[in-house]
Amino acid sequence: MFDARIPLSRGGRMRLQFSVPRRNRDAVFRESSLGGGVRSPPSRFRSSRAFAVLSGLILLALGALASGAEDSGEQTPGVDLLQLSLEELGKIKVTTVSRGGERLSAAAAAVYVVTGDEIRRSGVNQIAEALRMTPGLYVGRANSHQWAVGTRGFSYIFANKLLVLRDGRTLYTPLFSGVFWEEADTVLEDIDRVEVIRGPGATLWGANAVNGVINIITKSARETQGVLMSGGGGLEDRGFGTVRYGGRIGTNAFYRVYGMFSDHDEFTRSDRDIGANDAWWMSQGGFRVDWEPSAINRLTLQGDYYAGKLNSLLRVPSFSPPGMITENYPETTEGRNLLGRWTHSFSADSELEVQAYYDGTDRDFGVALEKRNTVDLDVQHRFSIGERQDIVWGAGYRYSMDDIENRSEFRMRDPSVGLQLASAFLQDKIELVPDQLRLTLGSKIEHNDFTGFELQPSVRLAWTPNDRNTLWGAVSRAVRTPSRTVRDLSFFVDPPFGFPALRLPTLIRADGSADFRSEDLIAYEIGHRIMINPRLAVDWTMFYHQYDHLRNTPPAPIELHVNAENVPYLVLPLMVDNSLYGEAYGAEASLTWQPVDWARIRASYSLLEIELHSRTAALSFSEGDERGDPEHQVKLWADMDLGRKVEWGVGVRHVSDMPVIGIPSYTELDTRLAWKFSPHCELSVVGRSLLAPHHREFSPHTTIDRNVASDRMVYGKVTLKF
């Protein structure tokens, strides 16, 4: 047991005790039923103790620091969701649509805001899970630690048409052009909001913002003063804890530091009803400093460090006998980042922002090892011309260097490459009719090392005849630039669903192409937001997407091989090219209803149709991707204040079948019950995916095992604030 007493700024002491239970470590030495061999003891036990000691030392140091620095007082309370009227919710400022503050209700895009209070009331422990209730967004778990997140189609574990940002730092990796969601977390109580754009955002945010943008915005250090401690555990999420402290130095400088840890159980293999060997743990720590040296200057410095271990079932080739087999692979991940931002206000209508960050990652995927270091510099200037034009322009440069270790299952043509990305953008928002009709014109130009220059323009028009209505339309172009793997990688994959059996054992090999070019999108959107009355608001969007030069995988001539035992087998190469094109169209509608002051209901429905076509005469395995996303999604969530400081939230989500990846339709129930028995303490019990012991949500196209089912989750949580 570890014991710490921390001096508080207002007198008295707070006592913390961290207890790590004894476990029989011999139980973790086992022979894998899938042929993985003897495994070493999971290092999460060592990490749990390390986290407890580290957290105590951090708090001790902060206690000493707080005694010598001026404190700002008690924890800044967050805004309760039910305390805001629907009109006030519509006035929430969003920045992702135009890179400048504008009212949510007037934005000319399909944008949805997940507030920090909605995240708290949902009871989730990961950012990906917090996005489930977003209209039109699909979130499916491929296993215990990997999510497929996408909107308007093409949802993969590494969703290459969805750009994800956190506080201005891009979270996508050039290796896959996707996001490792298990590495994207932060202290959920520190999130101010998550802005989700469905549809292209490339004019401002660049390549890979094709089908959408997710922008995670955290609170400033000024808003997170005092001590926050939370922790709990239960089924699947076996144990988790967070310690965060915020203080003030001098008059205008604020800081916070945090440490967090989580330990997660394995899910279930649906084909054998046994454990999926995908248990994982993750530890993370970081800081943020916000300083206002003058009324016109703001400085921010923040950074994070994380490390974790993630077990996985991977499908890898075997040559004796020929075929794909399932093996246990322990993955490890480690990363660090540092971001600085300076904002200078020339006037109320003119502002300059300069941002730079470093991001380093080391990840062992089991079948490959990647080390990557990225530096990024962005400059943005916003100013007004007269009373009717608001202009924002900027430029940026990014350099990303990787070092990839080739292994037999995963081979890169060039194991080490430095990638450069230079960009510039310009956008002009024009008030054609003051406070009623706005035209937004803009474009971004980028230069990358794979395809050269890319131009991504957009036109948006918004009509707001009164405070209750906004009708908008947009036409945009966006591109998805090639990733390292799509050009350089060669690896073996499982046969696609419906692949015919051949006379000889067959292995399928996917080969990248150095000729792969950018994928193109022309998007047409219209939408309408209407507040029918002070208690009922509706938001709907219709879209039509035209895609060209999409990734296709037509087969090349079959190769005949012989293994070491002189057993013949076939290798079918799949050659990546840009011969696929198609259309996606659909509608998204959401409703927010507050029938009484103590309850609010959010409901949404989305329809998605995708039609893909191949320009090649050969059989195309990628055409089947048109049924790889749910055609229908229905979501419902209700938040209620039941009195006596009791909160209850309950939600139902229905997802239609995804036949190309073998996922049947499913309906699930999530709920949270919480009791604030004092201003400083909250107890909650959370249940997720309660209607079935386990169900499948996503089947990967890559080497990750397809047969993992998401398990029912129940856990308790305690949150303390001082």
Tens digits of per-residue pLDDT, 464-495? 999 899 999 999 999 999 988 888 888 888 87
Residue 81 has what pLDDT? 61
Which of 40-44, 64-68, 392-396 has the highest mean predicted lDDT (pLDDT)?
392-396
- Torsion angle, alpha carbons of 121, 601, 599, 644, to 10: -30
DSSP string spanning 480-502? EPPPHHHHHEEEEEPPPTTPPP-
* Beta carbons of 158 and 182 less than 8 angstroms apart: no
Within 8 A by CB and 6+ apart from 153, the residues are 211, 545, 584, 608, 610, 628, 629
> Does residue 91 have a pLDDT over 80?
no
Helix (H) or strand (E) holding 246: strand 237-249
Instruction: Work out the average pLDDT over 182-192.
Output: 92
Percentage of residues in the chain with pLDDT exceeding 90? 57
**What HEC string does 642-686 produce?**
EECCEEEEEEEEEECCEHHHCECCEEEEEEEEEEEEECCEEEEEE
**By C-alpha distance, which of 590, 557, 597, 575 is closest to 511?**
575
Please report which confidence band the pLDDT of residue 587 belongs to, taking 50, 70 and 90 as the band edges: very high
Residue 61 has what pLDDT? 39
* Beta carbons of 409 and 386 less than 8 angstroms apart: no
172-173 and 322-347: which strand pairing? unpaired
> Does residue 11 have a pLDDT over 80?
no
Q: What is the DSSP letter of 386?
A: T
**By C-alpha distance, which of 188, 246, 191 is closest to 222?**
246
> Does residue 42 have a pLDDT over 50?
no
Percentage of residues in the chain with pLDDT exceeding 70? 87
Instruction: Work out the average pLDDT over 561-571.
Output: 89
Residue 74 has what pLDDT? 42
CA distances from 649 to 120, 633, 678 (A): 10, 20, 20
**What HEC string does 176-190 produce?**
CCEECHHHCCCCHHH
> Does residue 590 have a pLDDT over 80?
yes
694-695 and 681-688: which strand pairing? unpaired
Phi-psi label, residue 73: left if phi above 0, alpha if psi -120 to 50, beta otherwise: left
Residue 31 has what pLDDT? 32
Please report which confidence band the pLDDT of residue 462 belongs to, taking 50, 70 and 90 as the band edges: very high
Within 8 A by CB and 6+ apart from 294, the residues are none
* Beta carbons of 395 and 424 less than 8 angstroms apart: yes
CA distance 503 to 720: 64
Please report which confidence band the pLDDT of residue 624 belongs to, taking 50, 70 and 90 as the band edges: low
Q: Of 60-64, 337-341, 480-484, 683-687, which range is least confident?
A: 60-64
Q: What is the mean pLDDT of the chain?
A: 85
Q: Of 25-29, 156-160, 351-355, 360-364, which range is least confident?
A: 25-29
Residue 345 has what pLDDT? 95
Q: Of 374-378, 428-432, 489-493, 598-602, which range is least confident?
A: 489-493
| CA R_g for the chain | 26
**By C-alpha distance, which of 555, 558, 560 is closest to 575?**
555
Reduced to 3 states, what is the DSSP secondary structure of residue 291?
A: strand
Which residue type occupies 163? L
CA distance 154 to 132: 17
Q: What is the DSSP letter of 38?
A: B
C-alpha dihedral sign at 489, 490, 493, 496: positive
> Does residue 227 have a pLDDT over 60?
yes
CA distance 359 to 354: 17
Q: Retrieve residue 300's tokens.
A: 């921010």
C-alpha dihedral sign at 90, 95, 100, 101: positive
Residues of 356-383 as b/e, b for ≥16 C-beta within 10 angstroms? bbebbbbbbbbbbbbbbbbebebebbbe
Within 8 A by CB and 6+ apart from 236, the residues are 144, 264, 265, 267, 711, 712, 713, 715
Residue 575 has what pLDDT? 86
Tens digits of per-residue pLDDT, 691-717? 999 999 998 877 788 889 999 999 999
Residue 45 has what pLDDT? 38
Residue 489 has what pLDDT? 86
Q: Which fold has domain 69-721?
A: Maltoporin; Chain A (2.40.170)
Higher pLDDT, 282 or 60: 282
Check: pTM over 0.85? Answer yes or no.
yes
Q: Of 36-40, 290-294, 525-529, which range is least confident?
A: 36-40
519-533 and 536-552: which strand pairing? antiparallel
Which residue type occupies 272? R
Tens digits of per-residue pLDDT, 287-308? 999 999 999 999 999 999 999 9
Q: Retrieve residue 14's tokens.
A: 């707070």
Tens digits of per-residue pLDDT, 400-433? 999 998 776 778 888 899 999 999 999 999 999 9
Please report which confidence band the pLDDT of residue 79 belongs to, taking 50, 70 and 90 as the band edges: low
Q: Retrieve residue 656's tokens.
A: 């239609």
* Beta carbons of 380 and 352 less than 8 angstroms apart: yes
Q: Of 270-284, 500-514, 565-579, which range is least confident?
A: 500-514
Higher pLDDT, 428 or 5: 428
Q: Retrieve residue 577's tokens.
A: 């090219």
Please report which confidence band the pLDDT of residue 205 belongs to, taking 50, 70 and 90 as the band edges: confident
Q: Of 86-100, 150-164, 242-256, 377-391, which range is least confident?
A: 86-100
Q: Retrieve residue 610's tokens.
A: 């995708």
CA distance 200 to 511: 29
Residue 29 has what pLDDT? 30
Please report which confidence band the pLDDT of residue 112 belongs to, taking 50, 70 and 90 as the band edges: very high
CA distance 151 to 144: 21
Q: Retrieve residue 141's tokens.
A: 């778990």
CA distances from 459 to 372, 469, 474, 587 (A): 36, 20, 6, 20
**By C-alpha distance, which of 96, 169, 99 is closest to 357?**
169
Q: What is the DSSP letter of 704?
A: B
536-552 and 506-511: which strand pairing? unpaired
Q: What value, to the nearest 5°, has the Cα angle with vertex 584 and ends 548 and 586?
A: 160
Q: Is the peptide bond before 321 cis (omega within 30 degrees of 0)?
A: yes
* Beta carbons of 240 and 212 less than 8 angstroms apart: no
